[in-house]
Amino acid sequence: METVSETRRSPKTKGPVVPQRQYPIEYTRNIGIAAHIDAGKTTTTERILFYTGLIHKMGDVDDGNTVTDWMDQERERGITITSAATTSFWTQKADGLYKAFAGIPHRINIIDTPGHVDFTAEVERSMRVLDGAVAVFCGVAGVQPQSETVWRQATKYKVPRIAFVNKMDRVGANFMNALADMRKKLGAYAYPIFLPIGKEDHFDGVVDLVNQKAIIYDPNDEHGLNCQVTDIPAALKEAAAMALAELIDAVSNKDDRIAELVIENQPVTPEALKAAIRRLTCKLELVPVLCGSAFRKRGVQALIDAIVDYLPSPLDIPPAVGITPDTEAKVEVYSDDNGKFCSLAFKLWTDPYVGKLVFFRVYSGRLSKGDVIYNPRTRKRERVSRVLMIQADKRIDVETVFAGDIAALVGVKNITTGDTLCDEDFEALLEPPTFPEPVISMAVEPKTKADREKMSEGLQRLAEEDPTFRCFTNEETGQLIIAGMGELHLDIIRNRLFREFKVSANVGAPQIAYRETVTKAAEGEGKFIRQSGGRGQYGHACITLAPNERGKGIEIENKIVGGAIPKEYIPAVIDGIKEAIAGGVLAGYAVVDVKVAIVDGAFHEVDSSELAFKMAGIFAFKEAAKKANPILLEPIMKVELTTPDEYQGDLLGDLNRRRGKILQIEAKDTSTIATAEVPLAEMFGYATAIRSLSKGRAAYSMEPFRFEQVPSNIVTGILALTKDIPPARA
C-alpha cells in the first residue's frame, strides 16, 4: 500500500533511519482520543490498551481502575482531569481485514484528553503536538457542545482525524443521526467506512464497507476477543452496497486516482480505496467514520486498525514551521532523526516521585541523556540528566528519543508550556499552543501560618502546570486570588493543594472575571511632572483611543512623527498604557478590544525618564478611557440542556430567570435538547437546581461563548461589590 510518507521525505535527510530506533518512524502514530464529557474516551482508550497487550485486565471508569485516569480525584469523580500519555504496540494480523501493514508492529502513542470544558487547556496543548486524533461521539447524543470545541481545536492545529460513534449498544443509539450531526454541526466531510449490525441490545457487530465483510462478535465472550469475519447478512447487503457506492463517490470527488478509475469504469479495489482514504484523511479532506461500543468491547480492534491505516505518521504531515528569534524568518522542521534536534515543551507536571516533569514532542533529531538543550526564549542551555517515556502513571527511563516521539525530561529549569527546546546552532521558535483566559476567580487564604509557605509553593507549581490557572495578590485588599475556567476547575485546584501539598485553606465565594471596554473614540493626555530640588521628572504623552472589533484584542500603535517623544521613551509609554489596560477604569477589570495610538507628546532634555513617560502613558489612557463611555462586559456561556419532556417547562423557566436567551429547542425521541446563552454569573449552583427540578433526570453542559455588555441595572451592584471584594482579574 502506498503511503503519503513516501512522497514527503526531508530534503535534508543524511541517510537511512538510524539503527538505534526500535520502531521506524513510518510505523509510529501520535494520536489523541478527544470528545465531549461522558462520550466514552477513557473507556475507549482502556480497551485499546487491552487489545494492544499493554494491560491484561480492562478497567472501567465507574470502578475507578482505568490506566489513564490515574489521579485519585479522577477515579473518585469518574472524569478525566489531566491528559495522560501512554504508549502501546499493535501488529495487524495477516489474515485480518487490513493487510497493508500486516505483521509489522506499530507504535501508537496515545493521549487521553479530558472532556469537561474546565480542562480545555489539556485538549488544546495535546492537539498542538498530535499527528492525528480519534473524535469519539455518543451514538445517542451525537455531536454535543464540547465535541464542537474539540473539533475546532483539531481544525485550528490542522490535525487529521477519524470519528468513532460509540455507545451503539445504548437505548436510543442512532448511527445515521450521529453522522448527520457531524455533517451539519461540524461541517465535516464525513463518510462511514463501517456500519452497525443492529443497535441497542441487539448490537452484534459491524459491517466493513471497504472490504464488504461483516464482523460478528460472540455474545458470550466478555472480552470481545472472539469474532467472526463473514459475509454481510442478507438484510444489510443492499444498504452496505449503497454505502460503499456513496463512499467511492465521495472519495472520487476529492482524489484524482479514484476519479480516473470511476470515469474509466474500472473496479475500485479495497487496496486502492484504502490508499485514497488515507491520502484524503492525512490532507484533512475526509473524515472516515467507524462505530462500536467500547463498553461492550465491540468494534475497538477495527478502530485500532483504522488508526494504523488512515491516521498519519510523523512523516505524513507537513513539517513543523518555526521562526528564528532574531530575524523572524520561517524555518521548516522536518521529521528526520539525522536532523538538528528541535522539540516543543507542551506540558509541565509535578510528579510526587521524580519531581518536575516537562513533556515534550520531538519534531526532528535525537536527544540522549547527557546532551545539552537550548531554550531560544531564555537564551539558556541545560544538560539533560534523565529522559523518560510515560505510561500513564509509570515512568520508564530511556537512553534516547527520536523524531516523532513524545517523552518527558526530569530536572530541567526555567521552562514554561510552549517553549521550544533545540540545538543551540538550530534556533527555531515553534508556535506554542494558545489558551483561553480564566473566567472565574475566588479568594483563598491559608488556615495557619505553617500552611502559608506550603500554599505559596503549591500554587506556584500548579500555575506552572496549568496555563489557564492564575494566582495573584490583590493590591488593594492584600487577598490572594486564584482564577480558572470554572467552579469545578477551582475545586480541583483546592483539592490538589490539600492532597499533594498538604495545605489547608479557606476559600471565598467565586467571583466572575468581568472585562471592560469602550464604546466610542476619545483622546487622552497624560503629564507627569515632578520637581524636588535636583533633577526632576518630565513626561508628556497624548493618545487616541477607539473601540476594536469584538474578540480582536488590544492594538497599540506608535504614530509619533518629528520626534515629539524620542524613540527610546516609546516603549515606556506603551508599558504604561498596558499597565492601565490591565487595571481598567470602571471597576479594576482588564480592558479588552481597544485600539490605542500614541499621537503626540513632549520631552525635557534633562528631566525626561522612562518612569516619567510610563506614568504619562497611564494617565493618558485613563483620561481617554473615562471619556470613551466605558462599559462592563460579562462572560456568556453556551449551555446545552437535555431533559425529559415533562420537565421542559420548569427548566426553560429557570433558564429565563437566569437571564438566559433560548437559541434552539430540539425534540429527540422522548427528550428535549435546549441550547441557550446564559451569563456565567447566573450559573452558580445550576447543577443542584436542575437535579431538584428534574428529579435528577436532566443533564447539561456549558462552554465559554463570548463576552457581552452587562445590563445597566446589574452594573451598579457589581461596582458597589468591587469596593469590598477584590475583582477577578485574569
Q: What is the pLDDT of residue 727?
A: 43
Share of the chain above pLDDT 90, in %: 36
- Report, as an integer, the average pLDDT of 235-257: 94
Are residue 288 and residue 411 in the same domain, yes or no?
no
**Residue 181 and residue 174: Cα distance in Å, rounded?**
11
Environment class of 234 (CB within 10 Å of its CB; exposed 0-12, middle 13-18, buried 19+) = exposed
What single-letter amino acid sits at 31?
I
Domain boundary among 430, 460, 494: 430
CB 131, CB 30: distance < 8 Å: yes
**Is residue 718 over pLDDT 60?**
yes
- Grid coordinates representing 427 are 534556533
What pairing do the DSSP bridges indicate for beta strands 537-547 and 522-530? antiparallel
- Grid coordinates representing 454 are 506550603
**Is residue 222 over pLDDT 80?**
no
The answer to the question of residue 19 being in a domain is no
Residue 475 CB contacts under 8 Å (≥ 6 apart), including other chains:
none
The answer to the question of residue 716 being in a domain is no
Pseudo-torsion of CA 16, 88, 312, 95, nearest 10°?
A: 90
Q: What is the pLDDT of residues 407-432, one digit of tens each?
A: 889 888 888 888 899 998 888 888 88
Distance between first and last Cα of the chain: 51
CB 210, CB 288: distance < 8 Å: no
CATH of the domain at 700: 3.30.70.240
Q: What is the pLDDT of residue 56?
A: 58
Are residue 185 and residue 74 in the same domain, yes or no?
yes
State the alpha helices, DSSP H only, in 552-704: 570-583, 610-627, 648-657, 686-694
548-565 burial code (b ≥16 CB/10 A, e <16): beeeeeeebeeebeeeeb
The answer to the question of residue 12 being in a domain is no
Residue 156 CB contacts under 8 Å (≥ 6 apart), including other chains:
127
More confident residue, 14 or 291: 291
Are residue 458 and residue 531 in the same domain, yes or no?
no
Q: What is the pLDDT of residues 3-46, one digit of tens each?
A: 333 333 344 444 444 446 777 888 899 998 888 777 887 788 88
At 719, the pLDDT band (50, 70, 90 cuts) reads confident
Are residue 207 and residue 224 in the same domain, yes or no?
yes
C-alpha torsion sign, points 248, 249, 251, 255: positive
Average pLDDT of every residue of the chain: 83
Are residue 41 and residue 169 in the same domain, yes or no?
yes
Q: What is the pLDDT of residue 486?
A: 76
At 673, the pLDDT band (50, 70, 90 cuts) reads confident
At 182, the pLDDT band (50, 70, 90 cuts) reads very high
CATH of the domain at 470: 3.30.70.870
Q: What is the pLDDT of residues 508-547, one digit of tens each?
A: 776 788 899 999 999 999 999 887 666 788 999 999 999 9
Give the DSSP per-residue string, 436-462.
PPP-EEEEEEESSHHHHHHHHHHHHHH
At 188, the pLDDT band (50, 70, 90 cuts) reads very high
Q: What is the pLDDT of residue 662?
A: 93
CA 376 to chain centre: 24
CB 420, CB 341: distance < 8 Å: no
| Closest alpha carbon to 569 in 615, 601, 617, 610 | 610
Are residue 623 and residue 676 in the same domain, yes or no?
no
**Residue 466 and residue 280: Cα distance in Å, rounded?**
35
Domain boundary among 466, 486, 511: 511
Q: What is the pLDDT of residue 478?
A: 66
CATH of the domain at 151: 3.40.50.300
What global pTM score does this model have?
0.70
User: Residue 358's domain spans which residues?
Assistant: 320-430
CB 556, CB 574: distance < 8 Å: yes
Q: What is the pLDDT of residue 210?
A: 92
Q: What is the pLDDT of residue 72?
A: 55
At how many degrees (to 10) do helices 487-501 and 449-465 cross? Answer: 120
Are residue 589 and residue 659 in the same domain, yes or no?
no
Are residue 255 and residue 404 in the same domain, yes or no?
no
The listed range with the strongest mean pLDDT (110-114, 234-238, 666-670) is 234-238
CB 34, CB 159: distance < 8 Å: no
- Grid coordinates representing 643 are 431533559
> What's the structural domain count of the chain?
5
Q: What is the pLDDT of residue 20?
A: 66
Share of the chain above pLDDT 70, in %: 87
Quote the Cα angle for 664-704-578, to 5°.
Answer: 140
Are residue 394 and residue 537 in the same domain, yes or no?
no
- Report, as an integer, the average pLDDT of 673-692: 85
Q: What is the pLDDT of residues 572-621, one digit of tens each?
A: 999 999 999 988 888 888 899 999 999 999 998 888 899 999 999 999 99
Domain boundary among 310, 338, 362: 310
